[in-house]
Structure 1
Amino acid sequence: MSLKGIIFDVDGTLAETEKEGHLPACNEAFEQCGFPIRWSWEEFQKLLAIPGNYLRIRHALQSVFPQWDTERLDEEARRVATVKRELYINKYVPRLSLRPGVARLIEQAVSRRMYLGIVSTSDEAQIWALLRARLPQWASFFCPVLGKESGMKGALDSPLYRRCLELFKLSPDEVLALEDSPQGLEAARNAGIRCAIVYNDYTFGSGFPGAVLVVGTLEPLTIDLLERLCFPEAALKHRD
């Protein structure tokens, strides 16, 4: 079988974390910290171009308090981000739902002894909280889990994707990345990895040049179908 490993993005790919988790956690953190900032979903979608909630929070504080120096801005952004992280993990993650088809696909991959990994811009504690809450029987099969503490996902040489390949001990031609955004697609392709896009309501309509597959849901897909669609040369080899 040519497809031996799958690397998942988290936010918007494994679950609808942005709208149902990160946004309300950010708003509640602003309130708890005494700041008059409350994002609508429409405003938050525009902020998704900024990588990571700490930087989004910092951007918002800078807009409201332009008189603050860098030290004050960093300190307050860290304070809000810390509160937000605890709220997200303890209050909002238990409420999140996986995107349709995710659990079945992971179950099939585990049964076939495939490698599973995660490459994300999210905090690794938040990723593990989601895995343990929503995929408890399979969470331990994800190795590695590489989040923002491990480096920049969007760096030009895609170090997180390349590190994942090294730990898998697989070549790029044996691995598929599942992403939801043009930025994630670019990161995977920069490491030579084929990428299937599972778009959502805020990435729908984006350009996905170079994706081997673009779908709105994983629900109808199986590992066999993913291999046939994304690794057609393997399907031809099997037929021969």
Structure 2
Amino acid sequence: MRRLQAVIFDVDGTLVDSERDGHRVAFNLAFEEAGLPDRWDPVPYGQLLNVTGGRRRLVRYLVARGHGPAEAEELARRLHTRKTDLMRDLIEVGAVPPRPGAVRLLTELAAARVELSVATTGNRAWVEPLLARTFPVVRFRAVVTGTEITVLKPDPAVYLEAMRLTGHGPEDCVAVEDSAAGVSAAVQAGLRCVAVTNDYTRDHDLSGAAYVGEGLDDPAVLEWFRSRLTT
């Protein structure tokens, strides 16, 4: 087995619990500012995550609540724009912490001269501040976001772009994901994928992953990576 050269990380639910602690909270603040009665509690929000993409999620939700398609699209556009601003505010005050074990794993990989990158379909407007605020000592070679790659996972485009930018082929890289859509995107790009579940993805079909762990602090996940740094 070749020594691991690069790891490409997803962000939402993988490096940070940003869905529950960030996006959900920011959506609720945007609802409140707009004078809407809607509030997304943690458990029902997990069901909404079956629709990928925050704006698409909003449109689907608003249509189900009785808004016409055109009205739902316009309202979702305004709410999602404001949600992104509020998400940045939450990041600035440290309200979106790293998942347990994230800093340790990133630090160990960087110390072993493994190249680190990010492939997310989140908006660059909040992804870059989050990475800078949460992982200030980590240098990411490439950060590919949904601002540049607008097709959502499980489409592999964001991973293909990350590999193009870094010059690594699939044989040199591993992806780290938390969800079925993310694992599918990585596998379709030809990558081995380590899945680290969270409260929202424990029931996902992650059978395409090379390894499935309970989090970035799972000792077995750490050992999986360490065993590939010495070959």
TM-score w.r.t. the length of structure 1 is: 0.87
| 2:72 matches 1:73 | yes
Where do residues 94-173 of structure 1 align in structure 2 (5 Å cutoff)? Answer: 94-138=94-138, 141-151=139-149, 152-154=151-153, 156=155, 158-173=156-171
The one-letter amino acid paired with 2:38 is I
Identity, % of aligned positions = 31
SS of corresponding position for 2:29:
helix
Equivalent position of 1:5 in the other structure: 6
User: In 2, distance between residues paired with 1:184 and 1:64?
Assistant: 28
The one-letter amino acid paired with 2:32 is E
Residue 223 of structure 1 and its aligned partner are, at CA, apart by 6.5
The one-letter amino acid paired with 1:90 is D
Residue 184 of structure 1 and its aligned partner are, at CA, apart by 0.6
User: In 1, distance between residues paired with 2:216 and 2:154?
Assistant: 27
Q: Which has the higher helix share?
A: 1
Alpha-carbon contact 2:194-2:209 (below 8 Å) kept = yes
User: In 2, distance between residues paired with 1:213 and 1:222?
Assistant: 8
Equivalent position of 1:49 in the other structure: 50
Q: Using a 3 Å threshold, how does the CA distance of structure 1 residues 37 and 171 change in structure 2: closer, same or farther? A: same
Deviations 1:79-133, CA, capped at 9 Å, x for gaps = 1111111111112562122111111111122223322111112111211121111
Residue 217 of structure 1 and its aligned partner are, at CA, apart by 1.8
Equivalent position of 1:205 in the other structure: 203
User: In 2, distance between residues paired with 1:162 and 1:45?
Assistant: 28
Equivalent position of 2:82 in the other structure: 83
Residue 165 of structure 1 and its aligned partner are, at CA, apart by 1.2
Equivalent position of 1:61 in the other structure: 62
User: In 2, distance between residues paired with 1:221 and 1:123?
Assistant: 31
User: In 2, distance between residues paired with 1:221 and 1:127?
Assistant: 28
Residue 8 of structure 1 and its aligned partner are, at CA, apart by 0.4
User: In 2, distance between residues paired with 1:5 and 1:227?
Assistant: 13
TM-score w.r.t. the length of structure 2 is: 0.90
User: In 1, distance between residues paired with 2:216 and 2:63?
Assistant: 39
User: In 1, distance between residues paired with 2:164 and 2:73?
Assistant: 35
**Number of residue pairs the alignment of both structures matches:** 227
Q: Using a 3 Å threshold, how does the CA distance of structure 1 residues 65 and 125 change in structure 2: closer, same or farther? A: same
SS of corresponding position for 1:7:
strand
SS of corresponding position for 1:95:
coil
Gaps in structure 2 of 5+ consecutive residues: none
Deviations 1:44-77, CA, capped at 9 Å, x for gaps = 11110111111122222223343x351x332221
What stretches of structure 1 move > 6 A for 4+ residues in a row?
none
Residue 222 of structure 1 and its aligned partner are, at CA, apart by 7.5
Residue 2 of structure 1 and its aligned partner are, at CA, apart by 1.8
User: In 2, distance between residues paired with 1:206 and 1:62?
Assistant: 26
Q: Which moves more between the two structures, 22-31 or 141-150?
A: 141-150
User: In 2, distance between residues paired with 1:203 and 1:81?
Assistant: 23
- C-alpha root-mean-square deviation of aligned residues, in Å? 2.1
SS of corresponding position for 1:164:
helix
User: In 2, distance between residues paired with 1:129 and 1:200?
Assistant: 23
